[in-house]
Structure 1
């Protein structure tokens, strides 16, 4: 009993028919991700330009969100 001969003729074309749509799909997905990611990065950068973490912390402390930090009035 012998092993069947491997298919050599047309092997590249067969592989390309399978892998080429996958490659295009991944490339389009990466382009869309980049297109969506950049505006989001700009929005975060704009938010943190005006964000004051100390002011936010004091507001949360006064609201009683933290159990280990007492409001400054007590």
Structure 2
């Protein structure tokens, strides 16, 4: 009793008919998960931060703290 020969003709086409749509579905699912799980919350966090952000006030605070070498504090 011997094993039957495997069918090799058309094997790639048969496998691709199954795996190609699955791969596309998986890729789209992962892309949607990243978009709605990472980028959208990050956009909202940035928008919330910059809603009340005052760049001039922040610059003056850093200048007073001595962060910059080329800018003197306003008291000098």
TM interval, shorter chain, is 0.7 to 0.9
Q: TM-score, normalised by structure 1?
A: 0.74
TM-score by length of 2: 0.72
1:16 and 1:66 map into 2 onto residues whose CA distance is: 62
Matches within 5 A, 1:1-74: 9-36=10-37, 37-74=39-76
Q: Identify unmatched segments of 5+ residues in structure 1.
A: 1-6
The alignment's C-alpha RMSD in Å is 2.0
In structure 2, runs of 5+ residues without a counterpart are 1-7
Aligned pair count reads 68
